[in-house]
Chains A and B, each alone.
Chain A
Amino acid sequence: MVERQSPEPLSPLEPEFHVGSHGNFEHGVEIILTETRPGSIVQLAAWPGEEKKLIAAIRTVTGLALPDGAGGGLSDGVKSVFGFAPGKFTVADEAEGLAAAFAKVVTPAIGTVTDLSHGRIAIRIAGPKAEWVLAKFFAIDFALPAFPVGAGRSTTHHDIFAQIQRTSADQFDIYVFRSFARSFWKALCHASEEVGYEVQ
């Protein structure tokens, strides 16, 4: 696998990324929006019957032990992993080079490694109204018992894919297509206006 070269990664949000408080924040800021800018975003897929080997490979490379169950996942604050489909996982890391590390461990007999580091971006929405704002976008249950910390969900907003991982009780990381990210970001900002939001 050819190591990718990205001398100066640019954020697709740049023209619409305005640090500071916005909207109706006089009574307090209830939403924090950031771009987490992971160095690596990788999707892994196991061939049928090879899922356990792929989960072991994820542990070898990241040190993260996936919990059982559909959509299970976890994050240690630096690396994150979650299931988004049967036998398929998204892994993100602050550092670059995750795809190359997986390519050494995930043999062609186990499954596939797809480097999406340049294809997706990660937007973080946090705060006491994070569930409430996301519920305007996605027809899924964001309540903590239905969507536990670490878990991932694969869903759509207006036919555009989004993968969402809950990284704490009131924090979600949303992975979206880079080419749609600015439009999604603007929508997220508008949806957060009425409760007051801060871009960090």
Chain B
Amino acid sequence: MLITCPYCGPRDVIEFTYQGDGNRERPDSASQNFEAWNAYVYDRLNPAGDHNEIWQHSGGCRAHLRVVRNTLTHEISSVAFVRGDHQGRGDHGSAARRKAEDKA
């Protein structure tokens, strides 16, 4: 599987790290809404088809990427930087970043 990084160009999947489902909406850290937290942690769409995902080009430019991957064919129909797309799209960017920082 190749992922075309917007900075580095097409690269083998071994250079990338999966950072999770790109559809999640992370509740505010102070939120006590347990249903929202439960949904954030456990609820997944698990589609047979196009899926919004967050990947990091960890073995290259280290940018976090918003990837649309078809779970049936592995075809990748779109790749974009996570950086700069927070506006109006919840907290995806910082959530992905925080997850990466937690891992590091």
Contacts and interface: CB of A to CB of B under 8 A. Distances in A.
Interface of A: 48, 70-71, 84-86, 88, 139-141, 146, 153-156, 159, 161
B59 A86 contact: no
Nearest to B84: A48
A153 B12 CA distance: 14
B59 A155 contact: yes
B59 A156 contact: yes
Interface in B1-46: 6-9, 11-12, 14-15
Nearest to B15: A156
Interface residues of B, number: 16
Contacts of B90: none
Given A85-B62, A86-B7, A153-B8, 14 more contacts: A70-B6, A71-B8, A85-B7, A85-B63, A139-B12, A139-B15, A146-B9, A154-B60, A154-B62, A155-B15, A155-B60, A156-B59, A156-B60, A161-B59
Given A85-B61, A85-B62, A85-B63, A155 B7 contact: no
Interface of B: 6-9, 11-12, 14-15, 59-63, 81, 83-84
A155 B12 CA distance: 10
A85 B62 CA distance: 7
A86 B63 CA distance: 8
A86 B81 contact: yes
A139 B61 contact: no
23 contacts: A48-B83, A48-B84, A71-B7, A71-B8, A84-B61, A85-B7, A85-B60, A85-B61, A85-B62, A86-B81, A139-B12, A139-B14, A141-B9, A146-B9, A153-B8, A154-B8, A154-B60, A154-B61, A154-B62, A155-B8, A155-B60, A156-B60, A161-B59
Q: Which of A71, A139, A146 has the most CB of B within 10 A?
A: A139
Nearest to B7: A70
B5 to A, nearest CB: 9
